[in-house]
Amino acid sequence: MSEDVAPAMAAAAAPPMTLQQAIDHLVANEPAFALTEITLNGVRYKAFRNCPDTVAALLSQSRGAQDNGAADYLVYGVERWTFDAFTDEVDRVAEALQSQCGLAPGDRVAIAMRNYPEMLVLTLAAASIGAVVVFMNAWWTATELDYALHDSGPAVVFADGPRRAAIASLPQHARRTLVGVRDGEEGAAMTYSDLRDQGRAGGLRAVTLGPDDDFAIMYSSGTTGSPKGVVQTHRAAISAVYSWLMQAALAPLVAPPGPDDPPVLRPSALVTTPLFHVTALYPLFLLSLPAGAKIILMHKWDANDAIRVIKQEQVTRFLGVPTQSADLLEALETSGQDLPSLRFMGAGGAKRPAAQVASLAARFPRAVVATGWGMTETCALGIGMGGEDYILRPDAAGRLHPPVQELRITDDDGNEVPTGEIGEITVKSPAVMRCYLNQPDATAETLRDGWLLTGDLGCIDAEGFVTILDRKKNIIIRGGENIACLDVEGALHRHPDVIEACAFAVPDDRLGEVVGAALHLRAGAHLTASQIAEFLQGTVAHYKIPEKIWCQHDALPRASTEKTDRRAIRARCLGLNT
């Protein structure tokens, strides 16, 4: 994280401290970051001693950081909420969920919509009554929505227009309450506006809720082809948020501000990525609460509009996929404008091209250009770095965010490998998921004695900087969206002319990676990328459709195990040395 969200309690120190000295100083002297040990399922973890127990408690305890509720907190176009107005709406919607929808602790509430203010309200309202939020990918097709609805079994679904129409077309939709939001309210039997207006401020019934109760379910693509529901607890969410809050407090201790540094501005974050992903939900939205930050939502990504909003709202924090940083850089160069308020330029969801780092640092001299690595399974907490460290190591992922995480690089037998050698990145912390929903075998394969096997291969140097080299999982990351190769291949195999298919990542300057596929076609058949796209339209989400295809009438290469040799196929198609 960056100094733009540093709490007032983190006073600058002189002379500069080393990172470890700063960590030790905060842990010993700052009550918010004091540590303890906890035991979960027989596993010992480092944990924050004094953090809120639940997300609802995080909200209520953040009022002081938000100018005792008077500060502008949420902005969407011309709509604005103070923090008190926002929490009042949260309370009223929470009461309506209890009284009008009959929800109780443990019930699930699905949210299927683009980044609307109602999504933030509903997340906290559900958390306030002990319900579990199920985040539905707004880019999914009706078939994909149907899968997640059956998998998670929500009692109530809140959906905007396109998602409400898709869900209403499903044969089993009548078994759950479908509530229209924004453009989904017209013609809906139940609407968000009605629930909000019927909710009674101060009428919320108290519920018993603990830190290890479930907070949310987010879906993450896996190598099985079907999305996995990642179950995140309140403790996991709070552990991630407080870890980032601490990164902000560390910054002025390690690099004390100088007399020529830009003025300190109120932290203000522009949300440009979907809130149904961890990158926007945790280090932007939930972190904004205790950090005293303002949140601005964009209706749709547009670099020129982003420039306008950043200027108008004095945005200090920009965190998006690398393609958005590149778009912003190009728009600024074209328009000749500047964004002096920016103090942090982060990238998440996909690896930023190394060549982009120096360009961003030169264009935004007042901002810390940063990168981060995390997973849905870790509530986005993981590895990161910024500033000079990143400029010197643009290919690396960064160092482990302290203080509650542990990291190992291990071989296939789970043994830690020596420094500098390649192995699987494994992490352990209270921010790690509880389980994969309804998938005990997948959970057991991924979580072992509290350690999360990430499936990413990397190495760590003597200074603690981690470089991610490859992925064990066959995942394509297109502009921050995880795509399972088997998911794409399953859709391709439905085409009558496709005998077998192999999907893989194709490098792309703008999106990082796009989907490519090698196809074994029936004799005499010929297919183009546009024909494949037309065939797959409506079957899988648009971002999963291959943009590059290679066709042949011979069988695809196989390894000694008789499995399709994905690595060799990709290398041959892309003209790489095997």
**Strands across the sheet with 214-220, in order?**
177-180, 156-159, 108-112, 132-135, 214-220, 228-233, 435-436
Tokens in use for 544? 């999963």
What is the pLDDT at residue 471?
72
Count the residues in the chain.
Answer: 578
Specify whether 191 is located in the same domain as 243: no
Asked whether residue 460 is assigned to any structural domain, the reply reads yes
Asked whether residue 68 is assigned to any structural domain, the reply reads no
Residue 158 is part of which domain span? Answer: 84-209
Here the CATH number for the domain that contains residue 193 is 3.40.50.980
* CA distance linking residue 159 with residue 15, whole number of Å: 53
What's the mean pLDDT when you consider all of the chain? 92
Pairing of strands 156-159, 228-233: unpaired
% of residues, the chain, pLDDT over 70: 95
Here the CATH number for the domain that contains residue 252 is 3.40.50.12780
Specify whether 304 is located in the same domain as 447: yes
What is the pLDDT at residue 7?
44
Of the two residues 9 and 27, the one the predictor is more confident about is 27
Asked whether residue 63 is assigned to any structural domain, the reply reads no
What is the pLDDT at residue 191?
98
Of the two residues 490 and 50, the one the predictor is more confident about is 50
Q: Which of 226, 230, 153 is nearest to 540 (CA)?
A: 226
| Mean pLDDT to the nearest integer, 514-539 | 94
Give 374's contacts (C-beta < 8 A, 6+ positions apart).
278, 279, 348, 380, 381, 382, 383
Give 566's contacts (C-beta < 8 A, 6+ positions apart).
474, 485, 502, 504
Q: How confident is the model at residue 387 (pLDDT cuts 50, 70, 90)?
A: very high
| Mean pLDDT to the nearest integer, 474-497 | 87
What is the pLDDT at residue 109?
98
What is the pLDDT at residue 100?
96
Asked whether residue 308 is assigned to any structural domain, the reply reads yes
361-386 residues labelled b (16+ CB within 10 A) or e (exposed):
bebbebbbbbbbbbbbbbbbbbbbbb
What is the pLDDT at residue 298?
94
Specify whether 416 is located in the same domain as 458: yes
Specify whether 400 is located in the same domain as 349: yes
Specify whether 442 is located in the same domain as 504: no
Asked whether residue 59 is assigned to any structural domain, the reply reads no
Give 91's contacts (C-beta < 8 A, 6+ positions apart).
125, 128, 199, 201, 202, 204
Tokens in use for 172? 């089993």
Specify whether 248 is located in the same domain as 186: no
Query: Looking at 471, 493, 524, which one is the last position of a domain?
Result: 471
Q: How confident is the model at residue 564 (pLDDT cuts 50, 70, 90)?
A: confident
Tokens in use for 231? 């179950």
Specify whether 360 is located in the same domain as 329: yes
pLDDT in tens, 94-138: 999 999 999 999 999 999 999 999 999 999 999 999 999 999 999
What is the pLDDT at residue 354?
81
pLDDT in tens, 302-354: 999 999 999 999 999 999 988 889 899 989 999 999 999 999 999 987 778 78
Specify whether 421 is located in the same domain as 545: no
pLDDT in tens, 265-290: 999 999 999 999 999 999 999 999 99
Specify whether 137 is located in the same domain as 275: no
Query: Looking at 157, 192, 209, which one is the last position of a domain?
Result: 209
What is the pLDDT at residue 174?
64
pLDDT in tens, 321-332: 888 898 999 899
* CA distance linking residue 240 with residue 433, whole number of Å: 11
Specify whether 385 is located in the same domain as 534: no
Asked whether residue 540 is assigned to any structural domain, the reply reads yes
Question: Could you write out the DSSP letters of every residue in 130-177?
Answer: T-EEEEPPTT--HHHHHHHHHHH--SEEEE-HHHHHHHHTSTTGGGSE
Here the CATH number for the domain that contains residue 526 is 3.30.300.30
Question: Could you write out the DSSP letters of every residue in 230-242?
Answer: EEEEHHHHHHHHH
| Number of domains forming the structure of the chain | 3
Q: How confident is the model at residue 221 (pLDDT cuts 50, 70, 90)?
A: low
Amino acid making up residue 10: A
Specify whether 357 is located in the same domain as 495: no
Asked whether residue 52 is assigned to any structural domain, the reply reads no
Specify whether 15 is located in the same domain as 157: no
